[in-house]
Amino acid sequence: MEILNHLNSINDFNEAKQVIPGGVNSPVRAFKSVGGTPPFIKRGEGPYLIDEDNNTYIDFVQSWGPLIFGHCDKEIEAVVIETIKKGLSFGAPTTLETALAKEVISIYEGIDKIRFVSSGTEATMSAIRLARAYTKRDDIIKFEGCYHGHSDSLLVSAGSGLATFGSPSSPGVPEDFTKHTLVARYNDIQSVESCIQISKQKGKGIACVILEPIAGNMGLVPAKKEFLESLERLCKQEGIVLILDEVMSGFRASLNGSQNFYGVNGDLVTFGKVIGGGMPVGAFGGRSEIMNLLSPQGSVYQAGTLSGNPVAMSAGLVALKKLKNNPEIYNELELLALRLTEGLKNIAAKFGITLQTCVRGSMFGFFFNQNPVENFEDALKSDTELFGKFHQGMLEKGVYFAASQFETGFICVGMNEVMIDEVLSKAKEVFLEIGAYGK
- Summarised one tens digit per residue, pLDDT across range 329-385 is 999 999 999 999 999 999 999 999 999 999 999 999 999 999 999 999 999 999 999
Question: Are 37 and 108 within one domain?
Answer: no
| Residue 102 designated active-site | no
At residue 428, the pLDDT reads: 96
Instruction: Say if residue 298 is in the same domain as residue 213.
Output: yes
In this structure, is residue 124 part of a structural domain? yes
Answer yes or no: are the C-beta atoms of 371 and 381 closer than 8 Å.
yes
End-to-end C-alpha distance for the chain, whole angstroms = 15
Same domain, 169 and 308: yes
179 is catalytic: no
Which of 303, 325, 347 represents a domain boundary (last residue)? 325
306 & 391 share domain: no
The CATH number assigned to the domain holding 138 equals: 3.40.640.10
Tell me, what's the pLDDT at 375? 96
The residue annotated as part of the active site, out of 12, 142, 273, 389, is 273
Task: Give which of 253, 435, 420, 433 is closest to 344, Cα–Cα.
Answer: 420
d(CA 131, CA 247): 18
User: What mean pLDDT is reported for the chain?
Assistant: 92
Kindly state whether residue 337 falls inside one of the protein's structural domains.
yes
Same domain, 128 and 229: yes
Looking at the structure, tell me whether residues 239 and 315 fall in a common domain: yes
How many structural domains comprise the chain?
A: 2
CA 407 vs CA 68, 219, 342, 385, 389: distances in Å: 17, 4, 18, 15, 16
Q: Residues of the chain with pLDDT > 70: what percent?
A: 94
Task: Say if residue 280 is in the same domain as residue 410.
Answer: no
Do 402 and 387 share a domain, yes or no?
A: yes
CA distance 393 to 432: 10
pLDDT at residue 169 in the model: 60
Q: What pLDDT does 160 receive? A: 30
178 confidence band (pLDDT: 50, 70, 90): confident
Known active-site residue 245: yes
- Closest Cα partner for 335 from 252, 268, 420, 209? 420
What is the domain-level CATH number for residue 42? 3.90.1150.10
Least confident interval from 18-32, 220-234, 389-403, 425-439:
425-439
Residue from 57, 108, 147, 262 carrying the catalytic annotation: 147
Domain stops at, among 282, 308, 325: 325
Assign 208 to helix, strand or coil.
Answer: strand
Q: How far apart are CA 16 and CA 31, in angstroms?
A: 14
In whole angstroms, give the CA distance from residue 341 to residue 124.
31
In a domain, 256, yes or no: yes
Question: In this structure, are 321 and 332 located in the same domain?
Answer: no
Cα 254 off chain centre by: 14
pLDDT tens column, 47-104: 999 999 999 999 999 999 999 999 999 999 999 999 999 999 999 999 999 999 999 9
Claim to verify: residue 34 and residue 89 sit in the same structural domain: no
**81 lies in the same domain as 116:** yes
pLDDT of residue 166: 47
157 pLDDT higher than 80:
no
Q: Is residue 2 very low, low, confident or very high in pLDDT (cuts 50, 70, 90)?
A: low
Q: Which domain holds residue 406?
A: 6-60+327-438
Query: Beta-carbon neighbour count of residue 131 at 10 Å?
Result: 26
- Both 92 and 52 in one domain: the answer is no
Confidence of residue 435 (pLDDT cuts 50, 70, 90): confident
pLDDT above 90: percentage of residues in the chain: 86
65 occurs within a structural domain: no
Asked which of 273, 292, 325 is the last residue of a domain, the reply is 325
Contact of 313 with 93, CB cutoff 8 Å: no
What letter does residue 413 receive in the DSSP assignment? B
Catalytic residue (one of 12, 59, 245, 378):
245
String of DSSP letters for 34-100: T-SPPPPEEEEEBTEEEETT--EEEESSGGGTT-TT-BT-HHHHHHHHHHHTT-S--SS--HHHHHH
- 163 pLDDT tier (thresholds 50, 70, 90): very low
pLDDT of residue 155: 67
Instruction: Indicate whether 176 pLDDT > 80.
Output: no
